[in-house]
Structures are given as C-alpha cells and as structure tokens.
Structure 1
Amino acid sequence: MERFDVAVVGGGPAGSSAGHAAASRGASAVVLEKGVPRTDRPDRLGPDSTDAAGILDYWVDIMGIHPDEMPEGVVLGTLDRAEFIGPSESLTLRSTGIESSYDNFGFCMQRARFDDFLRDRAEEAGAEYRAGVSVRSVETDRDGDGPRHRLELASGDELGAEYLILADGPQRQVTNRVLDEYLPFDVTERLSTRETNHIAYQEHRRLPEEVFEEVAGAIKFWWGHMPGHTAYPWIFPNDDNVARIGLTMPIGMDIEAVENRGDYPLLRPDDERIPQGKEYIRRLLEQEYGDEYDIEDDFPLVENRGKSKGTETYAISSTRPIDSPTGAGVAVVGGAMGATSAFHEGGDHTAVRTGAIAGELAAEGDLAPYNARWKDAIGDEILRNVAMADIVHDYEPDDWDWAFATARKLLENSEGYGLFDTSNLRAGFGAAKLVTTYKRTKFSFRNGKYVQIGESDYTV
C-alpha cells in the first residue's frame, strides 16, 4: 500500500491548494481527482471547473493569490462595477467598500485554466495530482495501527495517509460517508443536497458588438425576476465578445409553492412547473434584447467553451459552513464544507483559502487549529453572506425593488458594504430599517453561530 502524509480527495481549487500548501512545507501529499471531460480542457482530465468565475477586489486578498501570479489566459477581463437589477429598480456598485491590494473592482477568469494553474502549482511544489481516480471508501483506524486513514480507490488499489483533507465539492459524495462515522445524527439528512444546495446553469454566448460593449466591465444580476431563495440570473463578460449567461436556483422547487407568480418577470401564466435553466436564460435575453435582436441568431452558443457544447450545469453549496472532526485527522474544505456560497455565485477565493490552511496544518502535523483558523481567515466573508441570504430569504419582487431603491440612497454617503454603516441610520425610516435588519442579523450569527455542524457535535 502506498503511504502519504496527506491525502486530498478532490482536485478543484480547495484540493489543489491543500496539496500545494502541504507539499510546500515538506509533506508527502497526493491529490485524488475523479476527473471530468470538458470541451474547454480537451487535453487533460481535471475537476468539474464550473462556476461563473468572477473575483472581486478584496477576494484576491482572501484567496492569497494575486492575478499577476497567474499565467496568461486565466484572467479574461477586468471589472469596474456590479449591477443589481430588480423588476423596477436597480443598483450599481463601483466599489466593494473593502480595502484591497487589487486595484480594480474585480476580474473574470477562465475557470478551467484557473484550476489547471492551481494543479500545476501544486505539482511544482511536490504534490502528486492523480486525475481519473475515484475514492470508493475511507476507513479510519482509531487504534493507531497502520495508517490512520485507508482509502480504497475504484480501481481496487489502496493508499494510506495520516491526514485526510476532503475537498469533493458541495455534493459531498465522499465527505458525507466519512463524517457519518463521527456524528450522532444522519449527516446526509442534515446536509441534504436537495434541501441545502442550489443548482446553477450557464451558457457561453457570443454577444453582438454593441451589447458586449454595454456589459463589458460589469457583472450583472437580476434579482426578483424568478422565484426561490437566492435565485437569480446573471451575465459575466469574458473575452472576444463572449459572456457567461446563467442562473442559480434552489434544487427541486415546486411552482405550486410560489405565490404572486405574476410578479416575477421570468415566469409565465401557463407555466406548469419551474422552467428549466435554458428556458429561463432564453426568457431573460428576450426580455433584455428581444426588441432589437433575434436571440438565437444574434446571441449564438459558443460550443467550444464550457463543459459541453457551450453549456454547464453544476451544484453550489449552502451558505452555511461546517466544522471538521480535526481530532480524527480530517479537515473538510471549500464547497464540501459549505464555504462557497449560492448567494454570491460560487467562492473560489474561500475554497483556495480553506484548502491552503488545511494543507499547511496537516504538513505541520496538527489539524487541531483548523476550525479556528478558517474562521479567522474567512469568517467575516461567511458572516456577510449568511446574514444577507437570511435577510432576503422570503423576498418577493417588490421587496427587491424597495431594497435597491433604499440602498441607492444609502450609497450617496458610503461605498459598497459601507452602506450598512451605523451612520446611515439617520438616512430615513427605510434606510434605518435596512441597516438595522442587517446589523441584527449579523449579530445573531456572531461568534461562529453560522456553522451548521460544530466541532463539538463530533464524537472522536
């Protein structure tokens, strides 16, 4: 049986970063990635690599990797604003209001190339990266005989490791089975992907020149246009007049549960079920550009991009993260731990950072500080996302219009997240209500109360 200091399950941003951090500190590390064929990665297997792939300025510092370190072709274009569009009101942010080492508002990147960059970086540091390898099961030896963790692969081979880092994404196919050993309740029920996760769908389309000029530099989000908690379509500009046009929505939503259907611009009176992603996208493009363009002819799919024929479907994890059973030599990172977010469309920055922390501690031979370390590193970001997602949970179209109109007034005195500053309590009743709700919600999740499985829940 092969032996390693650190075994990492999953080779996306979190897993590759864990492998890089462990190997950089002298540990023997292997990253196991089941591998997914992709049109935009024709020459090698790799992770699923699917999200809208946008990074904001302060996310660069959370991630700990500046775009100047990335090879050519990863960054597709810089951003100068984010546009939030309600049914009748809108809001434009030109600053996040958070200090950053990165000079622009943000950037868009080619996610498969970004993953390949992280993989190459890990291998250069000395980690082994094995694609096309699936983990069938994990057995943990609590008595100290042999390797602490024994991983059985789909091939029938086995390998052992002292530390196990789980980075298998929001579907948690391996993570759930491992955590079940250490919890007094059914982890699959608690972390059910059909209840806590979202599905996302996106298309790569080439835009008419004048439309691309209009959206270039902006990430655009339409809130209150489709039903569901944190359900929204978006446009992310890429390069060569191509944009990613997609949406996020809860898994398994029933249209019969939707009240005020007529208030949602992307629903139709004769809809018998929630529309599929591709239908939502068609309706969005017709709504925004159908008066001037033939959508199918003028906004063609770019079939050599994305996962398959210009399209991608993927899961995004809940905004509520979990702690890890570090006493068992196990750390859960990235989407598997819920550090990425349906609220802000993914979270490569938090995935990279949590993976790096886990890899570093595993190499040093002590995962015990991990749960505290990841909270120190990304806790403020998680707290903002959990609070905002909780506030807007039951928002309907009129609520989004009110929120955007109110926030627009608050931005007259502040930038980005600064609109929630206490000083804005004097900006009128509506403004005070928005600011106070945000402050109270954040306070309710203080001191790590946003965690849905705590370290003390584990029996190790």
Structure 2
Amino acid sequence: MERFDVVIVGGGPAGSAAAHAAAESGASAVVLEKGVPRADRPDRLGPDSTDAAGILDYWIDIMGIHPDEMPDGVVLSTLDRAEFVGPNEALTMRETGFDTSYDHFGYCMNRARFDDFLRDRAEDAGAEYRVKASVRDVETDLDGTPRHTVRLASGDDVAGEFLVLADGPQRQVTNKVLDRYLAFDITDRLATTKVNHIAYQEHRRLPEEVAREVEGAITFWWGYMPGHTAYPWIFPNDDNVARIGLTMPIGLDLSAVEAREKYKLLRDSDERVPQGKEYVRRLLEQEYGDEYDVEEDFPLVEDRGKTKGTETYSISSTRPIDSPTGAGIAVTGGAMGATSAFHEGGDHVAVRTGAIAGELAASGDLSAYNDRWKDAIGDEVRRNVAFADVVRDYGPDDWDRAFSIARKLMSASSNDSLFKMGKIRSGLSAARFVTNYKKTKRKFRGDRYVQLSEDEYAL
C-alpha cells in the first residue's frame, strides 16, 4: 500500500492548491481525481471543471495567484464592469471598492485551462496528480500510523497521515467521511439536493454588434426567473464567444411561486420550472429576438464547454462548515460550502482554503485550519451569506426597488461600488436598505455564518 503525508480527494482548484502548498512545504502529496472527459480538454482527463463568472479584482488577492503567473489561454477577456438588470431598473458597477493588485475590474477565464495550470503547478512542486482514481471510501484509525486509508474503486489503497477533502459541492466522499463523526445524519445539514444550486450554460458565438455591446461586462438578470439566488447571465470570453447560462435552486415548485406573471422568463403554459436550455433560449429571444434569429445567429460552439458547447453543474448554496481537524481532516472549497451561488462559484476561495489546508498538513498540524480559513476568507463569506439572506424572498418588484436604491447609494458614495458605501444621502428607503444589510451581517458576526462547527464532531 502506497503512503503519503497528505492524500487529497478531488483535483479541482482546492485540491490542486492543497497539493501545491503541501509539496512546496516539503511533504509528499497525492491528488486522487476520478477524471472526466471534456470537449475543451480533449487530450487530458481532469476535474469536472465548470466555468463561472470569472475573477473580480479583489478575488485575485484572496486567491493569491495573479493572472501574470498563468500561461496564455487561461485569461480570455478582461472586465471593466458588472451589469445588473432588473425587470424595469438596472445598475452598473465599475469598481469593487477594494485596493487590489490588479488593474482591471476582473477577468473571465477558461476554467479547464485554469485547472490544468493549477495541476501543472502542483506537479512542478513535487506533488503527484492521478486521474482515473475514483475514491470509494475512506477508513480512519485515529491511533494508526498513518491515520487514513483511502479505498479506490480500482481496488487499490492509498494511505496518508492527513486527508484533504476537495470533492466539490456534491460531496460524494466528504459527506460519507464526516457522517462518522456526527451525532446526526450529515444530510440533515448537507443534503446535496437542499444545499446546492444547479447551473447550466452554453457557449455561443455572438453576432459582431452584440459582442461589442457585451464586451468587458459580466451581466446578470435578477427578478427574471423565480427562486432564491436564481438568475441568468452572459459572460464574454474571446473570439466573440460568450457563456450564456443561469443558476437556480434544485427542486423549485413552480405552483408555489407568487406573482409568476411578473417573471419575464416564465410562460403561462409552464407547468414546471423550465429546463436550463429553455431559459437560455427565452433570454436570448427577449434580448435579441427582434433583430436576430437566435438559433442561427447565436450558434453553439461545440468544441467548448463540457460537451457540445454546454455544461451542467452544481454550485454550493449553503453556509460553510468547519473541519474535524483533530482527525487530521480538512474540508476545502465547494465541499466545505465556501463557494457560493450568490457570487457564481468561487475559485478564489477554493484555491485559498486548499492552500491553507496543504500548508498546515505539511507542517504536521491541522489544528489551526478552521481559524486560518476564517481569517483569510471570513469577510468574503460573511458578505455573501448576508446578501443572500437579505434577498431570500425577493421577487421582481423587490429587485427593481433594490437596484434603484443601490444607484443612489453608489452616487452618495462618490464611486461605482456597492461593497464600500459612504455617507447615506439618499433618503429613508436607502437608509433602511443599508440598515437591513448591516443588521443581517451582524447576525453572522464572528463565525456565526458557519453551519457546522468543529465542536460538533465527536473524535
């Protein structure tokens, strides 16, 4: 049986970052990745990569990797703004309000190439990265040396003193491992159908005029489809190609939606929530159908994405969890719920949590992990959790009202940022909006945004 200092389950951003940090610190580390084929990664198996919005300027500093370090082809386009579109109101944000090391608002990237870059970086540091290494189970003996034995579907075993769980928001291995340390069923907190959103997107080539129109902007439509944190988007890439997609909660009951006639992407004939591809078609018809034939003028780019220009994937929509570090286990990235449907993914927090876990595992002591990740990304997580809580019951009219107020707030702040607002000179409605957000954020002060704390594990 092979033995390593650190065994990492999952080869996405969190797993590769953990492997890099562990190997760079002198530990032996192996990444176990089941490997999936993708149209945009034809010559190499890798993680089930999912292109999200991209990376904002201050996320770069959270992640700790500047795009200048990446090879050509990872960054597809730079951004200068975010557009938020409501049914009747709209908002443009041109700065995040943070001092950062990056000169642009952000960038969009090729996620498969980003994953390959992180993998190569880990291997260059001395880590092993294995594909077709599907994990069936993990056995842990807290008094053993090493403590963890990872059982592979192939019948092989890999042992390690420390275990980093980085298997993404579906948590196929994570839930099985953590369940053994809890007095309740792990699915009471982390059932994937309840704590994840589903996302769908298509890679389409845009007409020249439309490509120029959306260049530099990530665009989100809020209040157009029902469900908490449900929205379609367009993200510009390169060569007039854009990713057009949406995220929505799993299992939404359309019959329970109030004022459904106000949602522009619903139809009276809908008996259930439309499929992702139908939502995308309706968005394009609404925005461009008067001038273009959508299917002819916005063709799928079939050599991009996971398969034939499309991809479907899960995004964590829950609050993060602590890890049972006393057992030599760290949960990272999407598996711990640090990524978020509210900011469309979270490669930056995945990389950062993975790097912290790898560094500490290499040092021989994971006990500081839960404090370290909170110090590194706590403000980011708390902000997203608070915003998501504030807008939980928003409908189309609420989004219009919010965007109208937000424009006033940004004007009062003398900049184009929603994250850092100055004195409120915009009336009672704006004051109430900010007060509600600050009150909600206080509710999650300290580490109260954590939904499963370390002291709940029985070791």
Matches within 5 A, 1:233-248: 233-248=232-247
Does residue 94 (structure 1) correspond to residue 94 (structure 2)? The answer is yes
Q: Partner residue of 1:33?
A: 33
CA change 1:322–1:98 in 2 (3 A) is same
**CA displacement at 1:189 relative to structure 2:** 2.6
AA aligned opposite 2:93: L
For 1:127 and 1:458, locate their aligned partners in 2 and report how far apart those are by CA, in whole Å: 30
**CA displacement at 1:416 relative to structure 2:** 5.1
Aligned length: 458
AA aligned opposite 1:267: L
Q: Partner residue of 1:333?
A: 332
Matches within 5 A, 1:245-260: 245-260=244-259
Q: Partner residue of 1:49?
A: 49
**CA displacement at 1:149 relative to structure 2:** 0.2
Q: How big is each residue's C-alpha offset from its partner over 1:293-333, in whole Å with a ceiling of 9 and x where there is no partner?
A: 00000000000100000000000012410000000000000
For 1:340 and 1:145, locate their aligned partners in 2 and report how far apart those are by CA, in whole Å: 33
Q: Partner residue of 2:18?
A: 18
Matches within 5 A, 1:31-430: 31-142=31-142, 144-414=143-413, 415=415, 417=417, 421=421, 423-424=423-424, 426-430=425-429
* Native 8 Å contact 1:6 1:28 kept in 2: yes
Does residue 445 (structure 1) correspond to residue 413 (structure 2)? The answer is no
AA aligned opposite 2:403: F
**CA displacement at 1:115 relative to structure 2:** 0.1
AA aligned opposite 2:159: G
Residue 411 of structure 1 aligns to a residue whose secondary structure is helix
**CA displacement at 1:363 relative to structure 2:** 0.2
Over the aligned positions, Cα root-mean-square deviation in angstroms equals 0.9
Q: TM-score, with normalisation over the residues of structure 2?
A: 0.99
Q: TM-score, with normalisation over the residues of structure 1?
A: 0.98
Residue 431 of structure 1 aligns to a residue whose secondary structure is helix
**CA displacement at 1:105 relative to structure 2:** 0.2
Residue 118 of structure 2 aligns to a residue whose secondary structure is helix
AA aligned opposite 2:395: E
AA aligned opposite 2:72: E
Residue 180 of structure 2 aligns to a residue whose secondary structure is helix
CA change 1:227–1:413 in 2 (3 A) is same
For 2:362 and 2:332, locate their aligned partners in 1 and report how far apart those are by CA, in whole Å: 15
**CA displacement at 1:51 relative to structure 2:** 2.8
**CA displacement at 1:249 relative to structure 2:** 0.1
* Native 8 Å contact 1:60 1:349 kept in 2: yes
CA change 1:319–1:80 in 2 (3 A) is farther
Residue 401 of structure 1 aligns to a residue whose secondary structure is helix
AA aligned opposite 2:43: D
CA change 1:182–1:198 in 2 (3 A) is same
For 1:185 and 1:374, locate their aligned partners in 2 and report how far apart those are by CA, in whole Å: 25
For 1:242 and 1:39, locate their aligned partners in 2 and report how far apart those are by CA, in whole Å: 15
AA aligned opposite 1:442: K
For 1:332 and 1:435, locate their aligned partners in 2 and report how far apart those are by CA, in whole Å: 33
For 2:220 and 2:53, locate their aligned partners in 1 and report how far apart those are by CA, in whole Å: 14
AA aligned opposite 1:215: V
For 1:449 and 1:149, locate their aligned partners in 2 and report how far apart those are by CA, in whole Å: 30
**CA displacement at 1:292 relative to structure 2:** 0.2
Segments of 5+ residues of structure 1 without an aligned counterpart are: none
AA aligned opposite 1:104: H
**CA displacement at 1:413 relative to structure 2:** 2.5
Segments of 5+ residues of structure 2 without an aligned counterpart are: none
- Calculate percent identity across the aligned residue pairs: 75
For 1:370 and 1:73, locate their aligned partners in 2 and report how far apart those are by CA, in whole Å: 33
For 1:263 and 1:181, locate their aligned partners in 2 and report how far apart those are by CA, in whole Å: 46
For 1:107 and 1:393, locate their aligned partners in 2 and report how far apart those are by CA, in whole Å: 28
For 1:361 and 1:279, locate their aligned partners in 2 and report how far apart those are by CA, in whole Å: 46
